Structure 1
């Protein structure tokens, strides 16, 4: 018998037992739908996490003071162990540096007319946007002259603009940070949440000199002190070498002896990117395994249905064997019937899964990704389940003795 004849016979049998076939197909369809949905949501989550890390910059280094001791008590260092001179030395002495941006910050109340908002006030330099791959949506960033003269100008994050101006243009308006008036000269593009869940748009950027003079007040204790600094490398593959050189420069700047640990921390975002990607991949894998259990249940249902079909069609099997059908013909017939059931269920599950994922993405504004490889994997798994589930009933049918089969009926 040709495989086309096997297929036509299988479809005819499936149509003849429509209700039973539909219930069997339903189990496979639910399993494939679950697998497609889980993989789509998991891949979307992974893509979102990687985008968030990428928005920070995979070639970006973050330097901050380490824990320091004062009178035998350990405390988190801020203004004492990292200075603008340290960052300048890094810029001049370490190769492969694209840009640097020292920063200070404080939580402060931002006021416009009768509205106010508590936000992160960040004093930084104009290169901060270059380092963070951030753009200005309206207006402009403050320039070097405004930085050197400690001008009272501000660039708002999107969250701050919406809270204070409620659709009104912020450019050119005067806000107050504490009791100090600032002129709004720009509004940043939306950045979204950081990998840690912080709203990156809830901030106000002002010149570093202005922040230290008017807001933070660090100039009264140590003029060059900063809270942290961002440094961008020109090649992501040179991150480790750059960290080594930066460490040497900072230890020399701080006059640290060999037996004393670093009083600073250099964070590499590539490790964060890899760890978060591994976490989301593991989560997706285990959720897909749980979803695949429904496929196994569907396979057991198919095996049960096919065993019942063998008993019901005993006379047919005996008659076909008596007319010259071989063991292979009978075996292939039942295997193809089982595979047809799972293929129909798998295709239906793919359609339902894509629709369900699209609805979730639209209604919940949740990122999802359905790749062709995921669809092929889900459908292939369904077909494999059908093949395995139909194998034992097919062997049982092919081994029936034709005389006993005819006599039994």
Structure 2
């Protein structure tokens, strides 16, 4: 069973999800305790005022202080923190799984959600975990059959419940992300081509403006390969600097997102940074080769006489 509410510790408070469970929940979710302990059988059966909290809630309320054994206020009653869960991160929907507090299910039923007079032991949802290699379609059909039997639903009656398969949700999200990534790749490709054409035009203008300089260099012994290398290096440096500026902007947005909630935040991977700068340099080589080749093929006499 679950609800939302304010959690208060000292002069700090935090709004989070309050869930009522028993210890089997941690087995199904494969969610180990990082510090402290699980609920005892007596605490679960009696509806004791104890809590296990997620890493996000711990950091918001306690910071660097010790959380185990501390008393916090959940809505209108106090509970003692007995355990802290390992950080789990975001789920398939992008929600923070660590922003949560768990109490014995009887405690939540008695103190928060209230008791259903027609069915005092009713719950709002059940989480099920399948063993590796099991047939999910068969498991879903058996769950549906059992729930219909327990809830005494007639053969021709509609289900009074919904079964959600997380693997299907993840697969749908992966397909959506694949479409988004493909679209993003096309946009990035067009941007690179447009940027590359811009670099090529800049280099062609540079070759034209520096024609006499090229002729002078050739007159004092520079080889065509030297001229080619000079303009290629300039093109590579120009594109590399552009890639570096882009990486710095990405770092800025990630920093603002992670620390101040501006934007989505994220993680910067060193391999991706190196790949992006390297790809920028490749664009410089690809689109800078023609202007550099044009510069290297100039005749020294014609270049010196150029106005």
Q: What is the TM-score with the length of structure 2 in the denominator?
A: 0.69
Q: Who wins on radius of gyration, i.e. which is larger?
A: 1
Structure 1, residues 246-275: CA drift from partner, whole Å, max 9, x if none? 321133121575895784131324225514
Matched, 1:151 2:45: no
Report the Cα distance in structure 2 between the residues aligned to 1:136 and 1:406, rounded to whole angstroms. Answer: 76
Q: Which has the higher contact order (CA 8 A, sep 6+)?
A: 1
Report the Cα distance in structure 2 between the residues aligned to 1:406 and 1:187, rounded to whole angstroms. Answer: 75
Report the Cα distance in structure 2 between the residues aligned to 1:199 and 1:381, rounded to whole angstroms. Answer: 39
TM superposition shift of 1:301: 0.7
Provide the residue aligned with 1:384 in structure 2.
Answer: 286
Contact 2:50/2:104 (CA < 8 Å) preserved in 1?
Answer: yes
Q: What is the TM-score with the length of structure 1 in the denominator?
A: 0.54
User: Which segments of 5 or more consecutive residues in structure 1 lack a partner in the other structure?
Assistant: 1-103, 321-328
TM superposition shift of 1:344: 3.5
Q: Output the aligned Cα RMSD.
A: 4.4
Match of 1:184 among 65, 81, 99: 81
Contact 1:213/1:219 (CA < 8 Å) preserved in 2?
Answer: no
TM superposition shift of 1:140: 1.4
User: Which segments of 5 or more consecutive residues in structure 2 lack a partner in the other structure?
Assistant: 259-265
Any idea what SS the aligned residue of 2:83 has?
strand
Contact 1:156/1:188 (CA < 8 Å) preserved in 2?
Answer: yes
Matched, 1:246 2:139: yes
Provide the residue aligned with 2:262 in structure 1.
Answer: none
TM superposition shift of 1:375: 3.8
User: As a proportion of its length, which structure holds more strand?
Assistant: 1
Report the Cα distance in structure 1 between the residues aligned to 2:248 and 2:3, rounded to whole angstroms. Answer: 46
Report the Cα distance in structure 2 between the residues aligned to 1:118 and 1:140, rounded to whole angstroms. Answer: 24
Report the Cα distance in structure 2 between the residues aligned to 1:278 and 1:171, rounded to whole angstroms. Answer: 43
Cα separation, partners in 2 of 1:387 and 1:193, compared to 1, 3 Å: same
Cα separation, partners in 2 of 1:166 and 1:339, compared to 1, 3 Å: closer
Instruction: Give the total of aligned pairs.
Output: 287
Provide the residue aligned with 1:343 in structure 2.
Answer: 236
Any idea what SS the aligned residue of 1:227 has?
coil
Provide the residue aligned with 2:125 in structure 1.
Answer: 228
Report the Cα distance in structure 1 between the residues aligned to 2:159 and 2:95, rounded to whole angstroms. Answer: 31
Report the Cα distance in structure 2 between the residues aligned to 1:407 and 1:370, rounded to whole angstroms. Answer: 47
Contact 2:211/2:304 (CA < 8 Å) preserved in 1?
Answer: no
